[in-house]
Amino acid sequence: MSITVRKILSGLGWALVAITVWSGSLVMLRLGVTTSLNAYDLTMLRFGVAALLLAPVALQRSAEAKRLGIISIGTMVVAFGAPYVLLIALAMKSAPAAAAGALNPGVMAIVSLLLGRAIFGDPVGGLRWAGLAVTAMGIVLFTWAGGAVTEGHLILVGTGILWAVYALVVRRAAVPALNATAIVAVGSAVFYLPVYFLVLPKQIGAAPLTDILVQAGFQGVLVSVVAIYAFNRSAELLGPLAGASLPALIPVATLALAVLTLGETPGSVEVASAILVTVGLALILVGRPVAHWMSRRFRRSSLSDRQRSSPSKRP
């Protein structure tokens, strides 16, 4: 097996880990805010636990963090740290988990593609433009299926933009996966935890210990450490646009998990829109490789036809 193939397979494996955990995290956030905990509690558990685990990494790689500068670090923490998670958790109070699974990654992929085109000059072929259009159709259809646009839907659109900004900063600064994960976790804890303990409303004191431990393990370990590292690692191995677009599977995965664990019953329009978002993101992901492959096949075919049509030369 060639190094390139191993690299691609490894990148796909990391992306699958991130997608699985993130799909589950949306369901867990929805479960948390509709039962014993509130959005502020869940955000505290997520980054409090992650910061404890990753503080040694942050200290060991403090020189790399200083190289980034306060603006880049602040942007990473805001765009993918505590504010990002808190907004998603707040959105889940009025939006179902399936909506988050479609809107958040859908908007993120569209904005990532446009930012990559505008800032890095990334090529956008016909398939990717088609994917962008299909994804946008799915997002609009999903919003329309839920009736009036709620505050939660608008928040989810905003979180998709924040996620795209985070991916842009990590790409531009070439931040290693583990370092980026530690920066987000520790930076979020430093700024968020004092505010949480001093002024934010809490329900954690009255919540069952089982709920607290489950959410702490899932949000603090799987989501804040494993999934963020896996996302950054997949982007390193597959390229920034591929890494940013691979959450194409999140809409359908979240929809299925919401049905199985929360008892949500999406209508046919919601199912169709989730599939549209997934297909659109898949087109964005594979657009360039497929176009490159088709171009090579066309050139080879044309060359072969010219060789067959040209008269053979005899000595």
pLDDT top residue among 248 and 129: 129
Q: What is the pTM of this model?
A: 0.75
- Please tell me the distance from the alpha carbon of residue 184 to that of residue 84, in angstroms, as a whole number: 11
Which of 23-32, 134-143, 213-222, 229-238 reaches the highest mean pLDDT? 213-222
Give start and end residues of each alpha helix (H) in the chain: 3-33, 39-60, 62-68, 70-80, 82-91, 97-115, 126-145, 151-173, 177-199, 209-215, 228-238, 240-245, 250-257, 268-309
Tell me how far the alpha carbon of residue 70 is from its chain's centroid.
23
- Residue among 94, 102, 88 at smallest CA distance from 255: 102
> Average pLDDT, stretch 161-183?
89
Instruction: Give the pLDDT score at 144.
Output: 74
Which of 180-184, 233-237, 309-313 reaches the highest mean pLDDT? 180-184
